[in-house]
Structure 1
Amino acid sequence: MTTAEKYAFPMARTCPFAPPPAYEQIREEEPVTRVSLPDGGRAWVVSRHEDVRTVLNDRRFSADRQHPDFPQLTKGEAATRRPDEERVLIAMDAPEHGPARKAVLGEFTVRRLEALRPRIQEIVDERIDALLTGPRPGDLVRSLSLPVPSLVICEMLGVPYADHEFFQDHTVKMVNQSTPPEERLAAMGAMWGYMDGLIAEKEDNPPDDLLGRQIVKLRANGTYRRTALAGMGFLLLVAGHETTANMISLSTAAFLRNPEQLAMIKADPGKTLNAVEEMLRYFTIIDVATARLCVEDVEVGGQLIKAGEGVLALGHAANRDPRAFANPDELDIERGARHHVAFGFGPHQCLGQNLARMELQIVFDTLFRRVPTLEPAMDLDELPFKDDANIYGLYELPVTW
């Protein structure tokens, strides 16, 4: 049996609150090894914390998802790749990537986001009101987890929240591993077309929202292209609601499963920021965002990876690496370890990480203060987890109080 036959990606979980068992086996026994992919191809997996950071910070590993040799992580993915299509930020390499990221980076500074804190707090309170006045048990995903980041990113971008069902439904199709390639491509096209049309409406009189400010800024320096801005808006809209929504749901479930940890933030909200970091490390909900294509021969962890070979930098395996985190499989909100790679690492580190941290902090502090008797309405191990999605999370979280 060859190594490529021994391991196949994606790998199945046996516990919804832990990574696939194969991650630990690979990390401890074969930290840089080959796996087979759903389309029949092969790629290297890199599993140790130090090696994952090395790959993500090395320009010899390309993020260009439209390259024909880029590792295909879902069956039929090649059919959705169009080399002539506008690249979104996460698929850009230097020198294209730097200026594109810098153009929007100012929208996500700590100072600018702090100005949004009162509005985010207001949104969270409104959604908790809706939960408390709704049926009991209620679904935390529908009442709180999904609406909060969706409302926040819509207001930031200037996207009508009335359209939320459209972009949420299409996002589900894009990230679900079982979606047929033609449906995934259609969903992506619909989302891109929606954003292009929205930006076109803003061009004559750009409003004071993120997209409007980008129109003005890019026009001033002579680099404005609607298709490029549509790609940026598309990425921010999808990532801005889907990832944080899943983190809210999963983290709430983890708190309810670990009442001693929850008691600590109830007693001292000053611990919440560290709790956010620990939840991010503990779940690491995206592995696929850190796939790369090697463009020059490189040695990683003592293994030669050749140009043209795909690489999967397994963030979840890295964030459970005992070389980087003591007792990594334990949930410890006092750990205070910000060197996790849940937001990636290097030039492609998540643009919206400060926003996500703020939303999570406000949600946890407010939810457990206002609903101190919150409890699950079903066995937490039996919840409908998103085992079929490229972004891990929960489809539903029934709760009562």
Structure 2
Amino acid sequence: MSSTHEFPFRRDDPFRPPARYDTLRAEEPVCRVRLPTGATAWLLTRYADVRDLLGDPTVSSDIRHPAFPALGIGEREAGSRTRPFIRTDPPRHTRFRKLFVGEFTPRRVQAARPVVQKLVDGLVDEFAARPGPVDLVPDYANAVTTTVVCALLGVPADDVEFFREVTRVSGSRTSTSEEVSAALGELFALLGALVRAKAATPGDDLVGRLVAEHLPAGTVTEQELVSALAMTIIAGRETTTSMIALGTLYLIEHPELRAELAANPAAWPAAVGELLRVLSVGDSLALRVLTEPRTFTGVTIPAGNGVIGLLGAANHDPEVFPDPAQVRLDRGGPGHLSFGHGRHACFGATLAGVELEIALRTLVERVPELRVADVADPVEYKHESATFGVERMLVTVSG
């Protein structure tokens, strides 16, 4: 019987998942780990195993399950009370997912491109005009994602840092249940007031449409709708914020990729897909509980065990992605798993891809002289967050 490893592992290189994954994938692709909560779970590190786990309709995502492999100290307790729909099973998960999936179809997202581009252009104007050094995380990455998702939903975003702070607390592995509940409570209060205002005066935006269609019909309660909106905002801005900041840093430090994209702008969607795969910021978000025994790479895990499908490890599986740490614009083959797979796959994946393409391309093309500021410790990383990324990144925006 193999030993139990302490998880999570720390990244050695910000541009790739922990090197420990490579060792486990080769020597112990299915292994036991101890989590910060003291509970134990299983890790999967091979692409085929992770994809099979995510596509299995019998596994549970219910955060209330005693074996749910929550990494955060306060995550499961707070989640059991608020019941975010992304941490539930059908039929509840299906019911809430249907509220949003129709609003994020490829056709609707592509139609929204001019709106996203206009918002990003305005934010680049503001960002480039700030005296340096400038912190790219609040002044651009968070401003872009929060402004875009709130604009598309119809949620006021006068204070974009409020949304970042809520996510910082709720997504930290060290936050207590009380801290998570307090942060989410502030967001729920804001959204509750908005829902009640829309009920009195409906508007032609996502929140207005959901309120008008579902509250009078009793499809959802006000509390359920507020919770679903909160989770959509958090999920819709957190990974994308991390990707904009870390993706920008990657592009700054890889001038050959910037030159390749300058020569072939049509390759930007491919570049975004590869950056999502290589950086894998949402590496350990795929948390499941087996309801039936399952065998992965010759190891049978009994029912009732928590399992973590490591998206970053799967995205760097050399059997599927040769030379996995390299961004290759001509890479074919299977797709990355950064947006998940199966019934819990991110319904906002198309929007996130468009948002990343516009945010990264616009910044790189309009501020080509962008570089990391020459100061002490200009970059601070989020090692204790559910989503890896950059907490602070001081850059110089003038030549």
- TM-score between the two structures when normalised by the length of structure 1: 0.93
2: CA distance, partners of 1:234 / 1:76: 17
1:318-350, Cα deviation, whole Å (9 max, x unpaired): 000011101112232332566100001111001
Name the SS of the counterpart of 2:336 in structure 1: coil
After superposition, the Cα gap between the structure-2 partners of 1:352 and 1:234, relative to the gap in structure 1 and judged at 3 Å, is same
Q: What is aligned with 1:11?
A: 9
Deviation, 1:120, is 0.9
2: CA distance, partners of 1:171 / 1:256: 26
* Pair 1:234 & 2:230 matched: yes
Letter of the aligned partner of 1:10 in structure 2? P
2: CA distance, partners of 1:335 / 1:373: 28
How do 1:154-303 and structure 2 match up within 5 A?
Answer: 154-219=150-215, 222-303=218-299
Deviation, 1:188, is 2.1
2: CA distance, partners of 1:333 / 1:319: 15
Deviation, 1:60, is 2.1
Q: What is aligned with 1:59?
A: 57
- Alignment match of 1:72 (pick from 55, 64, 70): 70
2: CA distance, partners of 1:255 / 1:313: 28
* Residue range with higher mean Cα deviation, 374-383 or 181-190: 374-383
After superposition, the Cα gap between the structure-2 partners of 1:346 and 1:221, relative to the gap in structure 1 and judged at 3 Å, is same
Q: What is aligned with 1:35?
A: 33
1: CA distance, partners of 2:180 / 2:112: 33
Contact (CA 8 Å) 1:16, 1:381: kept in 2 or not?
no
Letter of the aligned partner of 2:146 in structure 1? S
Deviation, 1:143, is 2.2
Letter of the aligned partner of 1:214 in structure 2? L
After superposition, the Cα gap between the structure-2 partners of 1:165 and 1:79, relative to the gap in structure 1 and judged at 3 Å, is same
- What percent of counterpart residues are identical? 38
* Residue range with higher mean Cα deviation, 145-154 or 131-140: 131-140
Deviation, 1:395, is 1.5
Deviation, 1:65, is 1.0
Letter of the aligned partner of 1:54 in structure 2? D
1: CA distance, partners of 2:372 / 2:187: 34
Number of residue-to-residue matches in the alignment = 397
After superposition, the Cα gap between the structure-2 partners of 1:155 and 1:77, relative to the gap in structure 1 and judged at 3 Å, is closer
1:231-253, Cα deviation, whole Å (9 max, x unpaired): 11001111122211110111111
Deviation, 1:380, is 11
Letter of the aligned partner of 1:217 in structure 2? E
* Pair 1:112 & 2:108 matched: yes
RMSD over equivalenced CA pairs, Å: 2.0
1: CA distance, partners of 2:130 / 2:334: 37
1:282-325, Cα deviation, whole Å (9 max, x unpaired): 11111332010111112222211111100000000000001110
2: CA distance, partners of 1:74 / 1:288: 11
* Pair 1:100 & 2:96 matched: yes
Gapped regions of structure 1 (runs ≥ 5): none
After superposition, the Cα gap between the structure-2 partners of 1:285 and 1:359, relative to the gap in structure 1 and judged at 3 Å, is same
1: CA distance, partners of 2:79 / 2:236: 23
